[in-house]
Amino acid sequence: MKARDALEMLLLAAVWGASFMFLRMAAPVVGSLAVAAMRVTGAALLLLPVLMWRGDLARLKPWLPALVVSALLSYVLPFLGLSQAARSLPAGLLSILNATTPLWGALVGWWWAGERLSAGRLLGLAIGIGGVALLAADRSQIGSGASWQAVALCLGSTLMYALAVHHAKRHLSALSPVSVSAGSLGCAALMLALPAWWLGPRPAQGPTMGWDQVPATTWGAVLGLAVLCTALAYLLFYRLIARVGPTKALTVTFLIPVFGMLWGSLFLNEQVSASMMASTTVIVLGTLLSSGAW
């Protein structure tokens, strides 16, 4: 991997690591649907004018079916799942569970793209699953039924991410990263914006509120999700897919837990336990092996 790609991957990991902090700040206040809708709508409003300025918007029509599928896999389903999980799980734990994405990527690559799973990669999958089990054994982090459901939502969301990158590589590789990002974000916004506006904010605790009662800090977190963690991050991500391929691009998740725990500790006063560090090490080791990066 070239130095430029490695630096972009480091920046992407830092930005995506911050997304779990923002999710933790916003989802308990306004609900998962509102967070997902505002995240994709804000990012789409930033990127679609770029396509219009370049004259590329009309050229997306033949790619609309593939962009709709990409919107579901890349944004709608995982953003809803992670936002719902963020209502009960801390940011650091969310970021660790997100590191299972390349494990799913290896399985999806074998099933969909016919990529070979060697003995080493199979061992890596087993180690990665063991890391998730080690994390689950920490009752201080996962104890209630709601938390277990949140863990399942996280794992389902990372599976969607893995499907999304292989789908993009197979069906959307002829488009530029800006076109893929803006087109799929626009489709996702059309799916989510109206239901979210109609239902309004859904706080996890306390009485219901109107949009005019949402705190400024929540709007700030949503803005960070839309601008930094979605518009900018997915531009970088699709650039990496185009240059290094989907499997290597997914290895960005090696670094996300480091930043997720760092931002959670610095800004949300979350505790980083020994079991979280151990689980992260085991999951990353398994991911390195299963992705063929080691």
pLDDT tens for 253-276 read 778 888 999 999 999 999 888 878
Q: What is the mean pLDDT of residues 153-158?
A: 94
CB 131 within 8 A of CB 279: yes
Q: Which residue type sits at 178?
A: V
Domain span including residue 264:
3-291
Nearest to 82 by CA among 117, 132, 35: 35
Residue 269, pLDDT score = 93
Minimum mean pLDDT range among 73-87, 125-139, 158-172, 216-230: 125-139
Burial (CB count within 10 angstroms: exposed 0-12, middle 13-18, buried 19+), residue 259:
buried
Average pLDDT of span 213-218: 95
Of the candidates 135, 131, 159, the residue with the CA atom closest to the CA atom of residue 283: 131
Give the integer Cα–Cα distance in Å for 201 and 147. Answer: 22
Q: Hey, CA dihedral for 40, 44, 45, 47, is it positive or negative?
A: positive
Distance, in Å, from the CA atom of 224 to the CA atom of 238, rounded to the nearest integer, reads: 19
Residue 16: both structure tokens together: 């995506």
Lowest mean pLDDT among 8-12, 225-229, 262-266, 288-292: 288-292
Question: Residue 176's pLDDT band (boundaries 50, 70, 90)?
Answer: confident
Q: 89-122 pLDDT, tens per residue?
A: 999 889 888 888 877 877 887 777 677 777 777 7
Evaluate if residue 83 carries a pLDDT over 90: yes
Q: The pTM is what? A: 0.86
Q: What is the DSSP letter of 61?
A: G
Domain count, the chain: 1
pLDDT one-digit tens code per residue, 9-65: 889 999 999 999 999 999 999 999 999 999 999 999 999 998 899 888 888 999 999
pLDDT at 130: 81
> For 72-90, b where at least 16 C-beta lie within 10 A, e where not — what string?
bbbbbbbbbbbbbbbbbbb
Phi, psi torsion values for 116, nearest 5 degrees: -75, 135
In the predicted model, is pLDDT for residue 290 greater than 80?
A: no
Q: How far is CA 189 from CA 21, 33, 57, 222, 248, in A?
A: 22, 11, 16, 14, 28
State the average pLDDT for the chain: 87
Average pLDDT over residues 176-182: 89
Question: Using 50, 70 and 90 to split pLDDT, how confident is the model at 294?
Answer: low
